[in-house]
C-alpha cells in the first residue's frame, strides 16, 4: 500500500479497515451502497460532484467532512482529511 491509491471518497484507508475482510467490503469507491446502512452522505456528495475523492472539491474540507473526521466516536482526528490532501498532491 503506497497511500496513493484512492480507496474511499472521504480519505479513510479501507485497506486498514477490519470490515474489509469481515464483511467482504470492497471499499466505498467500488460499491453502490455501503453494507452498513442506507448510504453515506460523503460518498453521495462526492459522487454527485463527479469527484474521485473529497480532496478534489472546491469546498474541501467542508463542514460535513470535518464533522465526520472529528467525530468523537467514529472520527479519526482528521487523518482522513490529511489522506485526501496526500491523494490531491500525488495527482499534481
Ligand atoms: S465514510 Fe463514506 S465516504 Fe468515507 S469511506 Fe465510508 S462510505 Fe466512503
Ligand atoms: S469536501 Fe464536502 S462538499 Fe466536497 S465532495 Fe466532500 S463531502 Fe462533498
Sorted by where each begins, the domain ranges of the chain are 14-90
Q: What is the mean pLDDT of the chain?
A: 90
Rounded Cα gap, residues 40 and 65, in angstroms: 11
- The model's pLDDT over 50-78, given as tens digits with 9 standing for 90+, comes to 999 999 999 999 999 999 999 999 899 99
- The number of the ligand 1 atom at minimal distance from the alpha carbon of 34 is 7
Task: Return phi, psi of residue 90, to 5°.
Answer: -65, -25
Q: Check if 53 has its Cβ closer than 6 Å to any atom of ligand 1.
A: no
All residues at 6 or more sequence positions from 82 whose CB lies less than 8 Å from its CB, including other chains: 11
Q: What is the pTM (predicted TM-score) of this model?
A: 0.90
Is the predicted pLDDT of residue 83 greater than 60, yes or no? yes
Question: Which ligand is nearest the CA of 8, by number?
Answer: 1
The cell numbers describing 82, all together, are 490529511
Is the predicted pLDDT of residue 1 greater than 60, yes or no? no
Of 10, 12, 92, 13, nearest in space to 57 by CA: 10
Residue showing cell 452522505: 41
Candidate of 11, 46, 80 to mutate for ligand 2, largest count of ligand atoms within 8 Å of Cβ = 46
The cell numbers describing 33, all together, are 451502497
Q: Whose CA is nearest to atom 4 of ligand 2?
A: 57
Ligand 1 centroid–CA 40 distance in Å is 6
Rounded Cα gap, residues 92 and 77, in angstroms: 25
User: pLDDT band at 2, cuts 50/70/90?
Assistant: very low
Helix (H, G, I), strand (E, B) or coil at 71: coil
Amino acid at each position: 500500500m503506497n497511500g496513493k491509491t484512492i480507496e474511499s471518497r472521504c480519505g479513510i484507508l479501507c485497506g486498514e479497515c477490519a470490515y474489509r475482510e469481515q464483511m467482504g467490503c470492497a471499499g466505498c469507491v467500488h460499491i453502490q451502497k455501503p453494507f452498513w446502512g442506507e448510504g453515506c452522505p460523503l460518498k453521495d456528495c462526492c459522487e454527485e460532484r463527479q469527484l474521485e475523492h473529497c480532496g478534489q472539491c472546491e469546498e474541501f474540507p467542508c463542514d460535513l467532512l470535518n464533522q465526520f473526521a472529528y467525530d468523537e466516536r467514529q472520527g479519526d482526528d482528521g487523518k482522513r482529511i490529511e489522506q485526501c490532501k496526500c491523494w490531491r498532491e500525488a495527482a499534481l
